Amino acid sequence: MSYIANIPDAGDKKRLVIIGGGFAGLELAKKINKKHYQVVLIDKNNYYQFQPLFYQVATGGLEPSSISYPHRKGFQKEKNVHFRMCIAENVDAANKTVKTDIGEIKYDYLAISTGCGTNYFGNDKQLKETTYALKSVSESLLMRNRILLSFEQALSAETEEELKEILTFVIVGGGATGVELAGALADMRKSILPKDYPEIDFSKMEIHLVDASPRLLFAMSEDASAGAAETLTKRGVIIHQEVFVKSYEKPYVEVSSGDQLRSRNVFWVAGVKPNSLAGLDESAYNRGRLVVNEYNQVEGYKDIFSIGDTALLISESSPKGHPQVAQVALQMAKRLAKNLNNEAENKEWEKFVYSDRGSLATIGRNAAVADLGKFRFGGWFAWWLWLWVHILSIVGMRNRVSVFIDWVWNYLNYDVSLRLFIRPKYNKMYRESET
């Protein structure tokens, strides 16, 4: 049975439906001219999530609420923006309709910015159930609980073997998230955990970083990779380079080098998979991403756009598409907003051109690497720069202040303040609101 979602009529305006309120969708919703367009923003969560700092929530450095922002608060003063918390299921382009779990939503223009999920490289069945991912605030909290639980369990370990299994952390994926997570765990092991758990011998805690690519931070320069590997090694992280995980039969992690690691804590940050939306012509998809032209129009459709991680724009300057990073998402959204505003004012559209502002990755306290055009550097200054870039990118003034205070506190006290093991309580009411 199909039914129509309850959304006010757009009147004389065109309706722009945006699926996904992440970096790209939120920026588009902000920048589109509401004199010309009614905006319907839909997201499966009622808040925006700042993904680059998930690992800090997972390691107790930040509150989940500091890196999340409620969509309704963001658009309180915008009468022409209607937020709906729902899941988009597919697109019916012939009828210009999106099917969602709260009913059908008609559009004049549709922007798909649904981002990415975790890629288990075909081994979903086994790895999804047994490893911990880091693609949402709730997964960050789950990972935080797992980390904290390990040390509580370590206190009751009955054998050396069991203790080793509990105190061994295996991070799969040597991109920015894997490196950042490994660095944060190494910092915890050095200065925080021994104070909380004086009965545990932390020389027995092992942090393994397993990376299938030829070097860590493969998307960055060789200097950055070497800097990251050197700092992590000095901080006691065991790096397995050009090695991939073959299987994980708890507690045994089989890796391609033939080694077998024994761990209860496997953190999977190895790859991304586009959250593609079904319903479009086959030619619109390329390995799950939506093929777009320089105006971000999806192949074969004039009024359907894709921006951010889901969009695949192949051009001379980007033969493999653009990197799936926040800057691309933001810049695509800004260009699309400008073009749709131009459309309403009968002005020319402009092609999307990516301006690469460089990359930064932190490796822990006082250590980061930076590739900014010709400038490649690491150490304290890169770390300082990383902190400011992230503070300024967080949505919401309260969140920026809260992150700043937490970071200053953590830095001065060699501590993270948020080591609470909070479990959701599943009761009848909770389950009803879920369905």
Site residues, ligand FAD (CB under 6 A)? 19-25, 42-45, 51-52, 54, 87-88, 113-115, 134-135, 176-177, 275, 308-309, 324-327, 329
Nearest distance from C-beta of residue 324 to ligand FAD, angstroms:
5
Q: Which is nearer to ligand FAD, 392 or 412 (CB)?
A: 392
Nearest distance from C-beta of residue 236 to ligand FAD, angstroms:
23
Q: Which is nearer to ligand FAD, 19 or 167 (CB)?
A: 19
Rounded to an integer, what distance in angstroms lies between the CA atom of residue 99 and that of residue 364?
Answer: 44
Q: Give, to the nearest 10 degrees, the angle between helix 397-413 and helix 380-393.
A: 150
Calculate ∠ Cα 429-431-433, nearest 5°. 70
Q: Which is nearer to ligand FAD, 6 or 256 (CB)?
A: 6
Rounded to an integer, what distance in angstroms lies between the CA atom of residue 231 and that of residue 364?
Answer: 9
Q: Tell me the Cα Rg of the chain.
A: 23
Rounded to an integer, what distance in angstroms lies between the CA atom of residue 360 and that of residue 365?
Answer: 14
**Of 149, 247, 235, 222, whose CA–CA distance to 185 is shortest?**
235
Strand positions, DSSP E, 129-178: 168-172
Residue 399 dihedral angles phi and psi, to the nearest 5°:
-65, -40
Nearest distance from C-beta of residue 307 to ligand FAD, angstroms:
7
* Residue 68, CA atoms < 13 Å, CB-side half-sphere: 16
Residue 403 dihedral angles phi and psi, to the nearest 5°:
-65, -40
Q: Which is nearer to ligand FAD, 165 or 406 (CB)?
A: 406
Nearest distance from C-beta of residue 188 to ligand FAD, angstroms:
18
Which run of H or E residues covers position 338?
Answer: helix 326-344
Nearest distance from C-beta of residue 278 to ligand FAD, angstroms:
10
Q: Which is nearer to ligand FAD, 22 or 396 (CB)?
A: 22
Q: Which is nearer to ligand FAD, 44 or 250 (CB)?
A: 44
Nearest distance from C-beta of residue 211 to ligand FAD, angstroms:
16
Q: What is the DSSP letter of 297?
A: B
Nearest distance from C-beta of residue 219 to ligand FAD, angstroms:
10
Structure token digits, residue 366: 């006082």
AA letter at 360: L
Q: Which is nearer to ligand FAD, 151 or 169 (CB)?
A: 169
